[in-house]
Each structure stands twice: as structure tokens, then as C-alpha cells.
């Protein structure tokens, strides 16, 4: 579903080791995951940011997808249109964020079908369909390495949550 993509295509790569995310983005992420999943289906959102500021997440996108209790499938036509939009607006995908029904982990399906498969890309899994507290408690963050293997990394080693003024 995803090919290796670079900033030249405008789609996604994480060129730095820390991603800056506002509290508002975190809150909106959980709101969208909860609304879509209704406590019984997996859901995904994408964190997006401009190439002019590659560390920063500036928006959350809720992809068109089919949600199930144990997975989801993105719309192929939506992905094509969305990648074109990213190119036109000089933005990239900083991370994919999705839910699992119980504990958070990166499944074989998660490993095999990232929306971006470039080294450095982040995939964040939120437990219990995001029905717990807003934040990273129990979350599982992985980063794609240069060998194409997902490696668990601590959330706060790669994600810096800022307050509304842009300060950590």
C-alpha cells in the first residue's frame, strides 16, 4: 500500500529525531480516534507538517478508511489524492497514529502496511481504542530503521508535547 517516499515527493519522511506536537494536536487526535472507533473499532489518524519546519506537526488528518474491531483499511483512491495534496501544499506525514482494542503493540499488519516506509518514520499505537486518558500512557511507539525493521522507542524520546505558545 505504501512505497518508500521522500520529501522530494512531498509525502513523508521524518528528517529529525524529535517531533514537536502541541497539546491541541494530541487532544484532537484522541477526539478523532474515539469518535471514529466508538470504543469498538480501530481507527487511524495522520500527523502532518510543513517541509519548511520538518520537526513540527501542524494538523491531524483522519483518512477515509473501513474500520473493524481488529484493524482498518485505508481507501486507495483517498491515499492517491492525499499524497497529491501533500505535494501541492509542501507538507509531509510525520507519523501515523492508530488504536488497538487492548494493549498497544505493533502487529505484523502494522509492520507490513505503513502509509510511509521511509527510515525514521514513526508509528504510534494507542491502547483500548483511545478510551483511556488523553496522552501516551500505555502507548507503543515504533520507528522504522534503515534496514526496514520497526524498533520500539520511548514516546518522549521522539515526541515533544508543546503548550500553546510553542514551548515544551
pLDDT one digit per residue (tens) for the chain, 168 residues:
333 333 444 445 444 478 999 999 999 999 999 998 778 788 899 999 999 998 899 999 998 877 766 767 777 888 889 999 999 999 999 999 999 899 999 988 888 888 888 899 999 999 999 999 999 999 999 999 999 999 999 999 999 998 755 555
Amino acid 5: pLDDT: 34
Strand-pairing partners, residue 153, are 141
Residue 111 phi/psi, 5° resolution? Answer: -60, -35
Do residues 57 and 18 lie in contact, with contact meaning Cβ atoms separated by under 8 Å? no
Amino acid 18: pLDDT: 85
Using CA atoms of 168, 45, 126, 16 in order, give the dihedral in degrees to the nearest 10.
-40
Amino acid 153: pLDDT: 94
DSSP letters of 13-81?
Answer: ---SS-EEEEHHHHHHHHHHHHHHHTTTS--EEEEEEETTSTTB--EEE---EEEETTEEEE-HHHHHH
The chain-wide mean pLDDT, for the chain, equals 84
Amino acid 107: pLDDT: 86
Which domains can be identified in the chain, with CATH numbers?
Answer: 7-162 (3.40.140.10)
Amino acid at each position: 500500500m505504501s512505497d518508500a517516499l521522500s520529501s522530494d515527493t512531498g509525502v513523508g519522511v521524518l528528517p529529525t529525531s524529535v517531533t514537536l506536537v502541541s497539546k491541541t494536536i494530541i487532544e484532537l487526535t484522541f477526539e478523532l480516534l474515539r469518535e471514529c472507533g466508538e470504543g469498538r473499532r480501530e481507527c487511524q489518524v495522520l500527523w502532518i507538517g510543513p517541509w519548511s519546519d520538518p520537526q513540527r506537526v501542524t494538523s491531524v488528518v483522519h483518512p477515509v478508511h473501513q474500520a473493524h474491531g481488529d484493524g482498518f483499511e485505508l481507501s486507495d483512491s483517498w491515499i492517491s489524492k492525499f499524497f497529491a495534496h501533500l505535494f501541492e501544499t509542501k507538507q509531509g506525514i510525520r507519523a501515523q497514529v492508530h488504536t488497538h482494542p487492548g494493549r498497544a503493540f505493533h502487529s505484523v499488519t502494522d509492520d507490513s502496511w505503513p502509509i510511509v516506509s521511509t527510515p525514521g518514520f514513526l508509528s504510534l499505537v494507542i491502547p483500548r481504542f483511545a478510551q483511556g486518558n488523553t496522552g501516551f500512557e500505555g502507548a507503543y511507539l515504533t520507528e522504522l530503521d534503515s534496514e526496514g525493521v520497526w524498533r520500539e522507542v520511548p514516546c518522549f524520546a521522539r515526541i515533544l508535547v508543546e503548550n500553546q505558545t510553542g514551548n515544551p
